[in-house]
Chains A and B, each alone.
Chain A
């Protein structure tokens, strides 16, 4: 098991015993990648609310984290379920949300690229290319067969490359 996982497992066990300071350390460590993933995938307006909801659920379920997966993977799964629950409540499952507007430069270019991808393509690409997730981890999160996930990432990457080359060539 990775050293960071050991630390996270120890903190999570302390959190399960009601140690909110230990949980605050986990929040400090994991809020940046989680919120970044959520903002890239669903837009920054929704990201913070989903992230907060996910952290509260992680606090309640702290005793269930067993250290087999990375804490970030476990937390992202919780956030993903929070997002699905919110979507179910709003009955708009297939709404592809573009990332937040108003960014400039490189960020705007990336946001524009991601906005042209489908929801699944966007999430797969952000996780596997940006957050270092394995294909297997992303496939499990998205409930997709491994082969489908791999081809989704490849397709998303090819679309982005095409857009990037178009932009580079003027």
Chain B
């Protein structure tokens, strides 16, 4: 009786004998593909962001260097508000110029397209 029950229990609880479920495998593969695409887009976004931060730092350093030059520095002393406004406008224009280019052809547009 005990042997018969053990056999029953083992056979009843064992995984069923069947071929692999192709639909399920395809479902998992689709999930893997999606993860891969998202990971690629994420790393592209991070790369774009780093490039933009680097460009901004370069622009800021350039403006700071120009601001230290003798003629500019004296002009700043005479009219600091106008000087600051011009610097900000220049900085903003360069930021817009440098910041837009990678985003158009880069990760954000790919992300939007998918």
Which residues of chain A have a CB within 8 Å of any CB of chain B? 18, 20, 23-24, 27-29, 31-33, 35-37, 40, 48, 51-52, 55-56, 59-60, 106-107, 109-110, 125-126, 129-131, 157, 160-161, 164-165
The binding surface of chain B is classed by DSSP as helix
- Assess the A129–B10 pair: CB atoms within 8 A: yes
- Assess the B13–A131 pair: CB atoms within 8 A: yes
Which residues of the other chain, A, contact B28 by a CB distance below 8 angstroms?
A: 24, 27, 31, 52, 55-56
A28 nearest in chain B by CB position: B20
The binding surface of chain A is classed by DSSP as helix
A-B contact count (CB 8 A): 81
Given contacts A31-B24, A52-B28, A20 and B12 within 8 Å (CB-CB)? no
- Assess the A48–B24 pair: CB atoms within 8 A: yes
By size class, the interface of chain B is 20 to 34
CB proximity of B1 to chain A, nearest CB, Å: 8
CB proximity of A56 to chain B, nearest CB, Å: 5
Query: Does B96 count as interface, using CB distance less than 8 angstroms?
Result: no
CB proximity of B36 to chain A, nearest CB, Å: 7
Q: Which of B2, B15, B32 contacts A37 (CB 8 A)?
A: B15
